[in-house]
Chains A and B, each alone.
Chain A
Amino acid sequence: MSPTGIVVAGLRKRYGAAPALDGMSFSVRPGVVTGFVGPNGAGKSTTMRVILGLDAVEAGAALVDGRPYRSLRRPLNRVGSLLDAAAPHPGRSGRDHLLWLAHAQGLASRRVDQVIEQVGLAPAARRRGGAYSLGMRQRLGIAAALLGDPPILMLDEPFNGMDPDGIIWMRAFLRSLAAQGRAVLVSSHLMSEVQDVADHLVVAGRGRALADAAVDDLVAAVSEGRVTLRTTAAPHATAVLVRAGASVVAGGRDTVTVSGLPADRIAALLGAGAVPFSEVSAHRATLEDVYLELTREAVEYRAATSTEVRR
């Protein structure tokens, strides 16, 4: 059986002195949506360009169905891609943009009209690309990716510039593509965009994959050994627990996350110290926690990212 999906192994690349990719490795399997998350500058877009044979690497390899992309014949029938800011020529209509692409792959123009319908771009298909909103350009980019009906899809920041309706549509659309058995890789610098859609997660930071695992496993790993404590006397509770050797992090209103002590020992200590509390339970981390935990050290420009996150 020939390997399917994308395998990225040990990619290294430098832009001048700064390493852009520093041993990036992961794989993308068919039938699931793989989220590719990480702060800006983590190497996500570079990795995608390397997979498409657009950028060269100093070391490592990216294989599509076991072969380098550049050796594929009619590559759009194998891999559909949407790269960041994929823009048609401003003077060319969306339909014509897809038409030349279809001609390059020997596809019929009937296929162009099909994908236009599929992404809901029919009303704007004959308008000039220069008049498209970012959301329309994203839909056009998705249409281009779907043109060859490829088993592998690779989308860089597809949620960028989409309105809430578009984001909801996009999530359902990505899930349906995976359900058809396709391998789907979706990058985002915002965890929230992929958390409801990804089954598998590759977290990138400083040019490498910090994690490459199923979402459930990642959440479990980060939750491991942590206890959520709900109390109206948080400072008092913190003092008691720290004295017993635990570490305590403030959570939401009236809650703290405790690690280093099992739940029953915490309950006993608080009872002995007469600290009031309403709940002691195993901590359930969110994907946001996972992301923050993994990328904490990888974020190079914290101030820059925090403004970008609000974009």
Chain B
Amino acid sequence: MTRDRYGFLLLLHAEWTKFRTVRGWVTGTVAAALLVVLFAVLAGIGGGDGGPDVPVGPDGGPVTDSFYLVHRPLTGDGSVTAAVSAPRSSLPRGLADLRPGRVPWSKAGLIIKAGTRQGSPYAAIMLTGGHGVRMQDGYTRDTAGPAGAAPRWLRLDRSGEEVTGLASADGTHWTRVGTVRVRGLGTTVLGGPFVASPPAVRGMGTSGSVSTAVFEDLHAEGGWADGKWKGEQVGPRSPTFSGYPRNVAGSVAEEGGRLTVTGAGDIAPAVRASLPTGGTLGEILTGAFAALVAVVVIGTQFITSEYRGSLIHLTLAAAPRRGRVLAAKAIVLWTVTFAAGLVGAAVAVPVGGRLARASGVYVFPVAFATELRVVAGIAALLATASVLALAVGAVLRHGAGAVSAVVVGIVLPYVLVAIPFMPAGVSNWAARVTPAAAFAVQQTLVPYDQVASVYTPYEGYYPLPPWAGLGVLAGYAAAALAVAAVLLHRRDA
């Protein structure tokens, strides 16, 4: 058994020697790595317009923090209560025509926030257009409250850094929705009613909306400053705020103790559709696609060239156990391509990111572990695709045919995934069941349930988790290798 294993090491050595002694394959692999870097540099110096700063939340992620706030200062502890009507939303139809419409995540409620600076900490309880009562804080956290019909009574209690949200159907019997600790709130905060109305998803895009809600029986207890409630648009000019529809603006009107508040925008994490100018690691690594074509060609040639010159006879005469020859080729090819891809991506990601930021592009921030996953994942994608190409080459035994087959098998679905205007159903299907699913390894954006948006592969959101997507490609490669091994065994060489 040990002698057997030694024999396999010899085969690995032989296949490595084969690979490194064909200059075209070595330079092609190096070129693939360089392509990854080159595209990253081009993407980096492509530059942006250097617009206003992207607001950033307490955890460093980009946020949308633009909404209509009606506020008074609160020093120390206190609470605010109101009966809130469900927000009524309007969407633009045509150029200047607003029509009533559904915006499920329109928000009307009460908020306590450190200040009007975008990205400052807050906690809020609200009635939504389609998701009932919610308590939210820190931009990304969202807790569901009791279901039921509007109008609802809402209350927010502040005690130090702790904020408790309560909801009631009658103003007497209260249900606690949640208590959150809001770090960095400070002693004096702003608080009061607010209305937000995020863009609504329409087909393959989003369009701005505006919502209005009525607040009754508004009263504040505790350390609130005296004076009138003051209406103000938070974050009126922000890259994550698409503004109001034409001829509408945020407003508050008081009439007999009833406040009618109109607002647009959102208090939420920024997603791709709300920050379309933001860059992602996936865009920095566009060169991976060009590299893919290169490694696919090398992968097929690694075996089909042996058939073209009947070198395969000598290979199999030297190693009659054919499955092992295929395994040795696959291991050598995978390792070499992985190494090249790893170097390319490991250089491209920091260089491209730095260049992009230097030229004024906002790049969606990524945890170091995620960055490592993307770099290693892209390398594994290239390596696994090359092994798939090798297997198809072993089945078809013809270079051009195998290259076409693999390019059609990976590139075509990738096109379905990566071009805009592709219906989400089609691109999500392609990103689930075709080898192009592997591009999920480069996803860095996070979709949020509480943010209605266009979550398609083109926008940087894949239907499968990163490693599962790579697993789909690996599955294709393993199946193709199995078929290749059976045929190699059965067919005359």
Q: Which of A's residues lie within 8 Å of B, judged by CB?
A: 49, 52-56, 69-76, 79, 81, 83-93, 96-97, 99-101, 103-106, 144
User: In the complex, A1 Cα to B25 Cα: how many Å?
Assistant: 49
- Considering the complex, give the chain A residue whose CB is closest to the CB of B306: A89
Q: Which of B445-493 contact A (CB under 8 A)?
A: 492-493
Indicate whether B177 reaches chain A with its CB closer than 8 angstroms.
no
- Considering the complex, give the chain B residue whose CB is closest to the CB of A95: B21
User: In the complex, A75 Cα to B3 Cα: how many Å?
Assistant: 15
The residue in A71, A84, A89 that gathers the most chain B C-beta atoms within 10 A of its C-beta is A89
Indicate whether B1 reaches chain A with its CB closer than 8 angstroms.
no
- Considering the complex, give the chain B residue whose CB is closest to the CB of A81: B317
Asked if B22 and A91 sit within 8 Å, CB to CB, the answer is: yes
Chain B residues closer than 8 Å to A72, beta-carbon distance: 320
- Considering the complex, give the chain B residue whose CB is closest to the CB of A73: B7
Nearest CB in chain A: distance from B307 CB, A: 11
- Considering the complex, give the chain B residue whose CB is closest to the CB of A148: B318
- Considering the complex, give the chain A residue whose CB is closest to the CB of B328: A104
Assess A96 versus B492: contact at CB under 8 Å? Given A54-B317, A89-B22. no
Indicate whether B313 reaches chain A with its CB closer than 8 angstroms.
yes
Chain B residues closer than 8 Å to A86, beta-carbon distance: 310-311, 313-314
Asked if A103 and B13 sit within 8 Å, CB to CB, the answer is: yes
> What is the total number of residues of chain B having a CB less than 8 Å from a CB of chain A?
31
Nearest CB in chain A: distance from B424 CB, A: 45
Query: Which 7 residue pairs are nearest across A and B when measured between Cβ atoms?
Result: A104-B14, A96-B21, A87-B309, A100-B17, A54-B493, A55-B492, A70-B320
Nearest CB in chain B: distance from A32 CB, A: 23
- Considering the complex, give the chain B residue whose CB is closest to the CB of A74: B7
Which residue of B11, B23, B25, B311 is within 8 Å of A87 (Cβ)? Answer: B311
Asked if A52 and B492 sit within 8 Å, CB to CB, the answer is: no
Chain A residues closer than 8 Å to B313, beta-carbon distance: 49, 52, 54, 83, 86
Q: Can you list 18 A-B pairs with a CB-CB distance of less than 8 A?
A: A49-B493, A54-B316, A74-B7, A83-B310, A85-B309, A86-B314, A87-B311, A89-B305, A89-B309, A91-B24, A100-B15, A101-B318, A103-B17, A104-B10, A104-B11, A105-B318, A106-B10, A144-B314
Nearest CB in chain B: distance from A97 CB, A: 8
Nearest CB in chain B: distance from A251 CB, A: 43
Asked if A69 and B320 sit within 8 Å, CB to CB, the answer is: yes
Add 15 more A-B contacts to A73-B3, A86-B313, A92-B18 (CB < 8 A): A49-B313, A53-B317, A54-B493, A55-B492, A76-B317, A76-B318, A79-B317, A87-B311, A90-B309, A100-B21, A101-B14, A103-B13, A104-B10, A104-B318, A106-B6
Chain A residues closer than 8 Å to B3, beta-carbon distance: 73
- Considering the complex, give the chain A residue whose CB is closest to the CB of B325: A104
Indicate whether B202 reaches chain A with its CB closer than 8 angstroms.
no
Which residue of A49, A83, A92 is within 8 Å of B22 (Cβ)? Answer: A92
User: In the complex, A103 Cα to B11 Cα: how many Å?
Assistant: 7
Asked if A53 and B320 sit within 8 Å, CB to CB, the answer is: yes
Chain A residues closer than 8 Å to B15, beta-carbon distance: 100
Asked if A75 and B320 sit within 8 Å, CB to CB, the answer is: yes
Nearest CB in chain A: distance from B2 CB, A: 13
Asked if A105 and B320 sit within 8 Å, CB to CB, the answer is: no
Indicate whether B319 reaches chain A with its CB closer than 8 angstroms.
yes
Chain A residues closer than 8 Å to B173, beta-carbon distance: none
User: In the complex, A87 Cα to B305 Cα: how many Å?
Assistant: 11
Asked if A100 and B14 sit within 8 Å, CB to CB, the answer is: yes
Assess A56 versus B318: contact at CB under 8 Å? Given A87-B309, A91-B24, A101-B14. no
Asked if A96 and B317 sit within 8 Å, CB to CB, the answer is: no
Chain A residues closer than 8 Å to B493, beta-carbon distance: 49, 54-55
Asked if B309 and A104 sit within 8 Å, CB to CB, the answer is: no
User: In the complex, A215 Cα to B306 Cα: how many Å?
Assistant: 38
User: In the complex, A96 Cα to B20 Cα: how many Å?
Assistant: 9
Indicate whether B5 reaches chain A with its CB closer than 8 angstroms.
no
Indicate whether B228 reaches chain A with its CB closer than 8 angstroms.
no
Chain A residues closer than 8 Å to B319, beta-carbon distance: 104
